[in-house]
Structure 1
Amino acid sequence: MERVSDGREPDHDEEVLDEIVDLESYARSGKRPPRSRGYRVRINGEPYVFDNPLPTGREVLIKAGLTPPENYTLRVKMAGEKPHKVELDETVDLRRPGVEKFKALPRDQTEG
């Protein structure tokens, strides 16, 4: 019996793509992205591809070259919602419907 990487049984009627899906286009259409080889998401306006659909905030910042990650505040923009903060060790499910993009800003010296 086939299992997906998180141990769940796969949805046999779920579309599986052997390509990279663009999360922004799925967010605009309100659809959940399918399982795929990669997930393209914008971080500060630049596109990056993740093969893991469950990156941490730290992994997102490192992928964008924003190091050390402790010096940045990361926010995720969900379609139809205000951006919300993502902690460094918090996991973001890129397959959740509505994940649109990330914005990272340098932390102020007084933030901690």
Structure 2
Amino acid sequence: MNTPLKIEDILACIQEGRKPRDHGPYKIQVGDPDLNFTGVVIDDPMPTGRQIIETAGNRKAEEHLVFQVLRNGELEELNLEETTDLRAAKVERFLIFHSAASYRFDIDGKRLEWGHKVISGRVLKRLAGVDPAKFGVWLEVRGEEDRPIADNELVRLDDEGLEHFFTGICETTEGGAQ
């Protein structure tokens, strides 16, 4: 009688500093444009972008983009027929967008790609790796005052040119003179 294989959690492997086993099934994290991640199970140790999209329950993979969330926080698009090696323990999270186009922007000097033409201030902070409660995010505007972006505000990335954002600690008056 065959006993089912235990699912190898790629995130747990990385956190424990160990290499995943050579055969699946594997648990990976798949997120949406709001960076809400859920675990999905995939058998292939070297899945294609198409397999990841379909495993996450999306039909018509051609209408979607998938990005690998690299260990340094950068995003890298994974084409439909391109593979990624889950056994390398370098990527455990993926973002899926219902989109055919990607958009580039810069935040705190780091260039990223995004699979949707809008992005929220809160997502920008999370991508920058800052505490959303303590930091603000601004859109750099040439020749004008930089524009603060609220957490729930959506900023378009499909205008001409590269959008530049930066983060900084929000000013408080706590403990100040009255």
Q: Answer whether TM exceeds 0.5 for this pair.
A: yes
TM-score (norm: length of structure 2) = 0.47
Q: Which residue of structure 1 lines up, in the alignment, with residue 19 of structure 2?
A: 32
Counterpart of 1:35 in 2: which secondary structure?
coil
1:77 aligned onto 2:69:
yes
Counterparts in 2 of 1:37 and 1:73: CA distance versus 1, 3 Å: closer
Give the greater-gyration-radius structure (CA): 2
Partner of 2:28: 41
Cα distance change, pair 55–37 in 1 and its aligned pair in 2 (3 A): closer
SS in 1 for 2:87: coil
Write out the 4+ residue segments of structure 1 that deviate beyond 4 Å after TM superposition.
Answer: none
Structure 1 partner of 2:57? 65
The count of aligned residue pairs is: 93
RCO higher in structure (CA 8 A, sep ≥6): 1
> 1:28 Cα deviation (Å)?
2.8
- Out of 47, 51, 76, which is 1:55 matched to? 47
Which amino acid in structure 2 is aligned with residue 41 of structure 1?
I
Q: CA RMSD in A?
A: 1.9
- Structure 2 gaps of 5+ residues are 32-36, 103-178
TM-score under structure 1 length normalisation: 0.72
